[in-house]
Structure 1
Amino acid sequence: MAEILRPIGGISRALDAIANREFQRVALTKGQYLYLARVAEHPGIILERLAELLRVDRTSAARAVQKLTQAGLLEKRADDENKKIKRLFVTAQGEQIYPLVKRENDYSNGIALQGFSEAEANQLAKYLQRVDQNVAASWDAVKHGEQRHY
């Protein structure tokens, strides 16, 4: 069977390290750019859904959101219908930083796809979406207490 997880992991770690370094100048610490970007892309998202999108546990997501809220980049607002539900939004300060996060993502995506034709890039995106769906299903099962049998 082809080994795909090591290269994917290496790519992920390299791009994460680059982004963390790039975003130091706007006071985003390790991995915070991911949370800011997802909230900007999904205004009003709830914490549980944000954690699912990023494939992290709820506690890690809550900690990151709390830090971004304290930094003035995100805010929590009560849901219009159910005041117990807190929805997440990017603040005006966060909106100023998000375009930098988006530009970095677009640039890194372009670097990663250098030498690929548009058709190849689209095919690779489709394959990676399938891989993501496969892994997401397993992640969700393990998150809910199931044990994988090797």
Structure 2
Amino acid sequence: MKDILREIGMIARALDSISNIEFKQFDLTKGQYLYVVRICENPGIIQEKLAEMIKVDRTTAARAIQRLEEQGFILKKEDESNKKIKKLFPTKKGEAVYPFLKREGEHSNTVALAGFSLEEADHMLQLLQRVRKNIEVDWEFVKKGNKRKY
């Protein structure tokens, strides 16, 4: 079997490292920018859905969300019909930084796909979505306290 996941991991770590350096000016580090982007794109999202979307555990998401709230990028609002549910929204500060974060993501996509045809890029996206769906099965399984058999 080819080391596809190693390649994907190296790409992800390189992009994460670049983003952590470039977003330092906004005091966003350690992947916090992902949360800001997703909350700006999905205002009113609940913490559990956001964690699922980003593929992190609830504790990791809770810490990141708390820090972003303290920094003034996002705010939590109680759901009008169910006070236990807290919805996440970007603040003016979060909305102000979002266009820069979005441009960085688009630039990284352009750099990553340099030299690929549209058909190749579409095909790669379809293949990676299949890989993600395969991995999500194990992610859900392990998240529930189960152990994978190797």
**TM-score tier after normalising by the smaller chain length:** over 0.9
| TM-score (structure 2 length as normaliser) | 0.98
Superimposed CA distance per residue, residues 89-110 of structure 1 (whole angstroms, 9 cap, x where no aligned partner): 0011100001111000000010
1:83 Cα shift?
1.0
How many residues align? The count is 150
Question: What percentage of aligned pairs have identical amino acids?
Answer: 54
1:54 Cα shift?
1.1
Matched ranges for 1:1-150 at <5 A? 1-150=1-150
- Range moving further from structure 2, 115-124 or 36-45: 36-45
Moved over 4 A (4+): none
Gaps of 5+ in 1: none
1:30 Cα shift?
1.8
| TM-score (structure 1 length as normaliser) | 0.98
SS in 2 for 1:76: strand
Report the residue type matching 2:90 in the other structure: V
- Range moving further from structure 2, 14-23 or 26-35: 26-35
1:2 Cα shift?
2.0
- What is the rounded CA distance, in whole Å, between the counterparts of 2:114 and 2:3 in structure 1? 22
Superimposed CA distance per residue, residues 1-36 of structure 1 (whole angstroms, 9 cap, x where no aligned partner): 222100000000000000010001111122110110
Report the residue type matching 1:144 in the other structure: K
Report the residue type matching 2:16 in the other structure: D
Report the residue type matching 1:91 in the other structure: T
